[in-house]
Structure formats: C-alpha cells, structure tokens
Chain A
Amino acid sequence: MQVNEFYEKLKKIQEPKGYFFNKDQDMVMDLLESLLINKERYGYTSCPCRLSAGQYELDKDIICPCVYSGPDIKEYGSCYCGLYVSREWNEGKIPHVFVPERRPEEKIIASLI
C-alpha cells in the first residue's frame, strides 16, 4: 500500500473517533511510512516509536492506534508518537508537552527480554 492511500484510509476511520492526524504533515507521512515498514516486517502495524517483540500476542497492545493512545490523547492531547492528536492540540488550544511512555515497564520487559 502506498503511503497516501494509507493516509486517506486511516483518516476516514480515525477522525470520526476523535483521533486527528498531527498537523505536521511531514511527521505524519514519516510515521505512516514507518507503520508500513512494520506491517511488512511483523505482519501488523506495530507502533513505530516502540520496540516490537515481533510476536502478535506480545505486541497487541502497541498495534497502532495502541491501547495507550486514548488515555494519552485525553491527558496530553497527543499519542506517544505524535501521530494522532486531539482537535484542540492541533489548534494550539492546549500546550504541546512531552508524552511519557504509558506502557507498563513489566510488560515491556516481559516482551523484550
């Protein structure tokens, strides 16, 4: 799949849920390309900003949009990667802060080491 096609497909699915692409288009395209790389590598769109274990069962919580993106967008206005943001974040109505890793440490260690 080409990145532009992927962009349009996701936009249609995610925007009605309140997940908007970051207004930084270059960043979005980079991240979507990375998602396609991970789809090719692992068979699923594992989060490009986290290290994948390469096994679906271990990675299912970080398949984009990850289970942490909802709480992150709610709390910070942006997901961990910055791919999806809230409308208010894009409009500059809320501050753009560093989004810390919400995935529990035990889960990360268990999947990677």
Chain B
Amino acid sequence: MDNNVKLYALSTCIHCKHTKELLDEKGINYDYTYVDTLSGDEKKDILEEVKQYNPKLSFPTLLINEQCIVGFKKQEIEEALQGNASK
C-alpha cells in the first residue's frame, strides 16, 4: 500500500529542507505546501488545516497516513513510513 504523505513546510526552514531531502532520498511521493509563500484566504485556510494536526503551527508538520510528525524527527518518520510499507 502506498503511503499518503503530506508536508506543510516553510521555504526558508532548514528542518523542512531536511525532511524533504529524507522523503526524496526514500523515493516517497508526497504533496507539499510552502506556507510562507501563500497569502490571503489561501494562507488562512492552510493554517486552519495545519492547526487541526499541530496547534502550535510549527514546521515541518508532516502527515504520514493518519500520523502527524512535528519537526525533523528522522527515526519517527522512517518508522511511520516503514510501518505502513509492511502492512
């Protein structure tokens, strides 16, 4: 089963960059949004979305299937990706 992966990130954030690099290295297909490049209603809507998973609105906020991982936590990310791959 493919992982459903979504990344909320900032274009200037180093931890977001490291998270993206990890997903790229692993050949994961994922959607990402650079929240700092949005404006107006688009930004507001995305922030409401992020808030549901991570009330502190910090980045990176990564969704792997139903699991939310806040920050570049390499091991947690790998485990979440692997957990699903073994199903």
Across the interface, B55 reaches (CB within 8 A) one of A31, A82, A105, namely A105
In angstroms, Cα B13 to Cα A52, docked, is 12
Q: Which one of A8-16, A43-51, A69-77, A87-95 contacts B?
A: A43-51
A67 at the interface (CB under 8 A from B): no
Report the contact-size class of chain B (Cβ under 8 Å from the partner). 20 to 34
Contact B57 A112 (CB under 8 A): yes
User: Which residues of B2-59 are within 8 A (CB) of A?
Assistant: 10, 12-17, 35-36, 44, 47-48, 51, 55-59
Contact A81 B14 (CB under 8 A): yes
Q: B11: shortest Cβ distance to chain A, in Å?
A: 8
Instruction: State whether A34 and B48 are in contact (beta carbons under 8 Å apart), knowing that A51-B35, A100-B71, A101-B56 are contacts in the complex.
Output: no
Nearest B-chain residue to A104, judged by Cβ: B56
The total of chain A residues at the interface (CB under 8 A) is 22
Contact A48 B55 (CB under 8 A): no
A37 at the interface (CB under 8 A from B): yes
Contact B57 A109 (CB under 8 A): yes
Closest 5 CB pairs of A and B: A34-B12, A48-B12, A49-B13, A101-B58, A105-B56
Write the residues of chain A forming the contact surface with B, with a CB cutoff of 8 angstroms. 27, 30-31, 34, 37-38, 48-52, 81-82, 98, 100-101, 103, 105, 108-109, 112-113
Known A49-B15, A98-B73; further 20 A-B contacts with Cβ < 8 A:
A30-B14, A30-B17, A34-B12, A48-B10, A48-B14, A49-B10, A49-B12, A49-B13, A49-B16, A50-B59, A51-B36, A81-B13, A81-B15, A82-B14, A100-B71, A101-B58, A105-B55, A113-B47, A113-B48, A113-B51
A-B contact pairs, 13 of them (CB 8 A): A34-B12, A48-B12, A50-B58, A51-B57, A51-B59, A81-B13, A81-B14, A100-B71, A105-B55, A108-B58, A109-B57, A113-B44, A113-B51
